[in-house]
Amino acid sequence: MNKSNDSTPNTLQFSMGEGQAGFRRPSIFEPAPVLPPPSQSPKSCDSGSLTASGDNDAQELEKPNTTYNTLPNGGYGWVVVVCCFMLEFFAEGPVSAFGVFQNYYVNEKFKGKSSNATISLIGVLSSSSMAILGVVSGKLCERFGYKIVPLCGVFTLSLGYFLASFAHEPWHLLLTQGVLCGVGAALTFLPAVVVPAQWFDRHRGLATGAVSLGIGVGGIVWTEFDHLLIKKISVSWVLRLTSVIILAVCSASIMLIKTYRVSPTVSRVGVETLRNSNLFIFLTAAFFTGISSLVPFYYLPAYAKDIGISPSGGALITSVANAASLGGRVLGAVSSDYFGPLVVLLSAYALTTLSILFIWTTTHNFVGTMAFGIVFGLGYGATFTQTSTFVAKYFGVDTLPVFVGLYYTLSGIGYLFGPPIAGDFEIKIMKIAVALVGMLSCTMAWVWPLPRVFESGSNTTAVPHPTIITSYGTSTLLSDAIKRYSDLISREAFTPPADYKRGKFATSGELSTLQVNVESSDETLSLETDESYMLDVPTNGQATLSANTVYGAIRGLESFSQLLMSYEGARVVRNTPVHIEDKPVLAHRGIMLDTARNYYPVEDIKRTLDAMSYNKLNVFHWHIVDSQSWPLESKTYPDLQKNGAYASDMQYSYADVEDIIQYAKGRGIRVIPEFDMPGHMFIVGETYPEIMSCMNKQPNWDQYAAESPSGQLNIADPAATEFAVGIINEYSKLFIDEMFNLGGDEVNRKCWEEDTKVKEYLKNNANVTVETLLADFYTNVHGAVKKQKKVGISWEETLFHSEYTPPKDTIIQTWIDEQSIPKTVAKGYRSIASPSSSYYLDCGHGTWLPNSDGNSWCDPFKTWMHIYNFDAFANVTDSEQRKLIIGAEVTLWSEQSDTVTLDKYLWPRAAAMAETAWTGKTNADGHVRTTKEVTQRMHDHRFRMVGRGIGAEPLQPLWCVRNPGNCLLP
């Protein structure tokens, strides 16, 4: 920095040159010195380089006519510092304490009746008021004096706190604590920073540290006093008013004493200041200080409470963290006198960064949280006191009013990022960790699939013996669901695997009842069924579940059950109050299970239906017959089951099917059968060989079928078509759903081209080909489905690999590649996405042909991450065409699966599709969720399913599950 040689007659003059015995110490009660006008300023700033060691203080001290008083060793200035500390302790300390206490008051009183966004708005308004007024408060001080402005601030702040104590609605606090306290804080804190810097020169850092220490220590002591006062006695309005008046008088007194020696000055911020290379550092520091200021004063106590630390333990951690912050203030202020504010600032930010990494990688317990508070407090405190020191050093003391106002503006803007970023401290820490080390985790909900809207608080609610009640008539479906979930909740004791060391949570209330309200009595289950619901779980009292249909209520009951967790035998809901608004993105969300290649007992199917309900899936696509077996009873063709089942105990009777359908309906799941025709029909030939073609061609079966054994209905034989229509007519009555899957995939033309009957028919009908025969067959079976008042579903070959044009209401299930989806909707057909590249769960186990040592056609294995990352809408941009994508299904073909492997092949990979089909790939704010951020929820969900009897396979070593974020690819 350049030093001006101008002297000013009206300034204090003293020298500390060698050999001088002493100098005159002006009285503390003398009139304040008059600072020079801009044209006579003793300092100016240039855009020179920034050095970490500080400017040459010795040259400045030797300069005659120095404007600012220097604090000498052993001088009475030490007395002033001590007096400032004591006065700040008794004046601004209680004001600060009242503000901290008010944060607890707001959360305790209004969290049950207002959303996080509303409560956060209080802090936003306070920050906005502070930011807006902060930039002009320096000018106000210059215009009206350093006595009037802070006095107005003190009384405005006190009035805001007093009125806030009577608030009964959140909007009362928006105006009082939000606006009034924000305005008062801006007018009060600016002089508190400016004054010490104008009192002292060489040791202004020490003076600022002493003042800050007084405020902070007073804040800690008086916060504990306020907490004790409120807990032990009933606080009347007279006591509130008296305490606020005392605070106001004390604060006014300290302001008068503190500003007695300070005179208004004209701020000097010119073009040369804007060129200063240190300006960016100052602005950045201000912004990030505002963001990090939320940690010690709000999020740390909330976090301590959230992980089960007792109120006294949380108070101790908060007090120690603030004490560390005070130590950091003094340490940082004193260090800046010797090392320069830049070095201190960078070191302090490094310390806060390390503390965040520490809390992320350390077990969440009392010791770890205390360590985090101490380390963060030291770093944060050191940054806090660098404002005036940094400005005075690099821009000049006479610029303090404007720069401090600018500081509060930017730190206020930084503070505004707090509430939108997170709803509680744990989210905040994780989000900061993302910015620092690229980690990302989502703790916004424990529910899987993720609800469309999930809002939560910071309390923990005990749920010892919840009762589920409803006023919804005599619905058997709902009463059965309530009983089922009541039983499940009573026996389930789920603890998230990462919380294996956590003890009991301190609770803020108790939940006794869940009231279920259903609007409609219509229990029709179809593609158009409304599954939406709304769930509110307060901190205390009664939870409410509202839905338009009984099926929405069933989805809400599942979400409610997943909110419940157990810690050392105590059942709780964390982060109450919880508000959920939920409905699916896709109306059709299913699993296709092949029970023909290998048989699955009824109990396996029911267990799968249970698991589907835990994931809010709503379609069981039953691929019930295929070339290998016909396990289903037929009353029209009874020999099919007799000749086609693997064994007498590997069959499904009518009663079994009806039982499964009813069992599924009770869980909001539709059962859609598939009878794949005209291909995949070898097993029919075991009973009716006369209507078949290319029956079991060996050894070159691969020329006639996709897999052995070969055999297709003879499409040139009217009897084959009659058989197919008969199957549709019979099973359309057994399977009551509105949809009926006709298959239609993987037909082999060579099978018919070499068939004697087909060749004879073609010879006698010159205008007929295999393709026209196939189109006629499709016409007949789709016509039969329509006569049964059903909607047909076909695999995509019917649309793309034949001359047949399906009716427009036909639903096309796409599987060959992902581009089939946009091609289907471009033709105006509805689509169910089942791409083999992402949704085929049987893939990845190699070939099942014993004379081949290689991969299967659809390898590799489809990991849950790969399934989660698939987006059915990715290649469809037209809004109308996107509406035609109605569903998604994962498939489990059973060449290498049976009852032993069923659960592990399906779960939890099917759950990955379940979430993207229910919630979509993006959040409401447009954020595209990644597998990295949902991993811990997936782990929790998998462990919960295992606890419910579902054999879901593990995803990682248990160590990784218990230490989130430590098993990521670098």
pLDDT, tens digit, 9 for 90 and up, residues 763-805: 999 999 999 999 999 999 999 999 999 999 999 999 999 999 9
The arithmetic mean of pLDDT across residues 404-421, rounded, is 47
pLDDT of 51 higher than 50: no
How confident is the model at residue 378, as a pLDDT? 75
pLDDT of 483 higher than 70: yes
What does the DSSP 8-state code read for residue 801? S
Characterize the bridge pairing of strands 670-674 and 619-623: parallel
Q: Residue 18 is encoded by which pair of tokens?
A: 């060698």
Alpha-carbon distance 511 to 541, whole Å? 5
Which amino acid type is present at position 450? Answer: L
Give Cβ neighbours of residue 84 (< 8 Å, ≥ 6 apart). Answer: 196, 207, 210, 211, 214, 258
Domain 70-261 has CATH 1.20.1250.20: yes
Which amino acid type is present at position 570? Answer: A
What does the DSSP 8-state code read for residue 190? H
How confident is the model at residue 163, as a pLDDT? 73
Report the candidate in 605, 586, 483 with the shortest Cα–Cα distance to residue 529.
Answer: 586
**Range list of H helices, 754-802:** 756-764, 770-787, 797-800
Alpha-carbon distance 855 to 952, whole Å? 24
Which amino acid type is present at position 226? Answer: D
pLDDT of 26 higher than 80: no
The arithmetic mean of pLDDT across residues 443-448, rounded, is 67
The arithmetic mean of pLDDT across residues 262-271, rounded, is 38
Alpha-carbon distance 545 to 650, whole Å? 42
Alpha-carbon distance 269 to 284, whole Å? 18
How many helices and strands (H and E) does the chain possess?
A: 39, 19
How confident is the model at residue 540, as a pLDDT? 92
Which of residues 421 and 353 earns the better pLDDT score? Answer: 353
**CA dihedral of 251, 254, 258, 264, whole degrees rounded to 10:** 40
Burial (CB < 10 A; 0-12, 13-18, 19+), residue 898, is middle
Characterize the bridge pairing of strands 467-470 and 533-537: unpaired
Burial (CB < 10 A; 0-12, 13-18, 19+), residue 526, is exposed
Long-range Cβ pairs for the range 945-949 (8 Å, 24+): 945/611, 945/614, 945/907, 945/908, 945/911, 947/492, 947/494, 948/488, 948/492, 948/610, 948/611, 948/614, 949/607, 949/610
**Range list of H helices, 145-199:** 148-164, 170-173, 181-199
CA 334, 338, 339: angle at the middle one, nearest 5? 105
- Placement of tokens 């960064």 in the chain: 353
Mark residue 525 as left, alpha or beta (left: phi above 0; alpha: psi -120 to 50; beta: remaining): beta
Do the Cβ atoms of 696 and 682 come closer than 8 Å?
Answer: yes
Alpha-carbon distance 355 to 296, whole Å? 12
> Which of 161-165, 483-487, 617-621 bottoms out in mean pLDDT, i.e. has the lowest?
161-165
- pLDDT confidence band for 16 (50 / 70 / 90): very low
**Is 730 one of the annotated active-site residues of the chain?**
no
Which tens digit of pLDDT belongs to each residue from 933-970? Answer: 999 999 999 999 999 999 999 999 999 999 988 898 88
Task: Return the CATH number of the domain spanning residue range 271-439.
Answer: 1.20.1250.20
- pLDDT confidence band for 690 (50 / 70 / 90): very high
The arithmetic mean of pLDDT across residues 389-397, rounded, is 58
The count of other CB atoms within 10 Å of the CB of residue 52 is 12
Which of residues 72 and 770 earns the better pLDDT score? Answer: 770
Q: Which residues on adjacent β-strands are paired with residue 590? A: 619, 889
Q: Residue 723 is encoded by which pair of tokens?
A: 């058989």
The arithmetic mean of pLDDT across residues 597-601, rounded, is 98
Q: Residue 48 is encoded by which pair of tokens?
A: 């020179």
How confident is the model at residue 399, as a pLDDT? 53
CA 513, 518, 523: angle at the middle one, nearest 5? 130
Give Cβ neighbours of residue 101 (< 8 Å, ≥ 6 apart). Answer: 223, 226, 227, 230
pLDDT of 115 higher than 50: no
Out of 3.90.650.10, 2.30.22.10, 3.30.465.10, 3.20.20.80, the CATH code matching 625-655+673-901 is 3.20.20.80
Alpha-carbon distance 667 to 620, whole Å? 11
How confident is the model at residue 689, as a pLDDT? 97
| Same CATH fold assignment for domains 271-439 and 625-655+673-901 | no
Report the candidate in 403, 104, 363, 161 with the shortest Cα–Cα distance to residue 282.
Answer: 403
- Catalytic pick among 581, 738, 746, 953: 746
Which of residues 196 and 904 earns the better pLDDT score? Answer: 904
HSE at residue 294, side-chain half, CA atoms within 13 A, is: 32
Q: Which residues on adjacent β-strands are paired with residue 117? A: none
Q: Which residues on adjacent β-strands are paired with residue 513? A: 467, 542
Query: Collapsing DSSP states into helix, strand and coil, what is residue 463?
Result: coil
The count of other CB atoms within 10 Å of the CB of residue 166 is 10
How confident is the model at residue 818, as a pLDDT? 93
Domain map (residue ranges) of the chain: 70-261, 271-439, 625-655+673-901
Which of residues 837 and 279 earns the better pLDDT score? Answer: 837
Alpha-carbon distance 692 to 715, whole Å? 9
How confident is the model at residue 923, as a pLDDT? 84
Which of residues 385 and 800 earns the better pLDDT score? Answer: 800
pLDDT of 438 higher than 60: no
How confident is the model at residue 370, as a pLDDT? 76
DSSP letters, 589-603, are EEEEEE-SSS---HH
Which of residues 485 and 405 earns the better pLDDT score? Answer: 485
The count of other CB atoms within 10 Å of the CB of residue 231 is 8
How confident is the model at residue 221, as a pLDDT? 57
CA distances from 506 to 312, 422, 433, 524 (A): 11, 22, 27, 44
| H/E segment holding residue 202 | none
Do the Cβ atoms of 841 and 906 come closer than 8 Å?
Answer: yes
- pLDDT confidence band for 313 (50 / 70 / 90): low
The arithmetic mean of pLDDT across residues 109-133, rounded, is 47
- Placement of tokens 């020490």 in the chain: 206
Do the Cβ atoms of 466 and 632 come closer than 8 Å?
Answer: no
Burial (CB < 10 A; 0-12, 13-18, 19+), residue 864, is buried
- Placement of tokens 């990644």 in the chain: 930
CA-based radius of gyration for the chain: 37
How confident is the model at residue 502, as a pLDDT? 86
pLDDT of 170 higher than 80: no
pLDDT of 388 higher than 90: no
> Which of 349-363, 404-418, 618-632 bottoms out in mean pLDDT, i.e. has the lowest?
404-418
Query: Collapsing DSSP states into helix, strand and coil, what is residue 206?
Result: helix
Which of residues 307 and 93 earns the better pLDDT score? Answer: 307
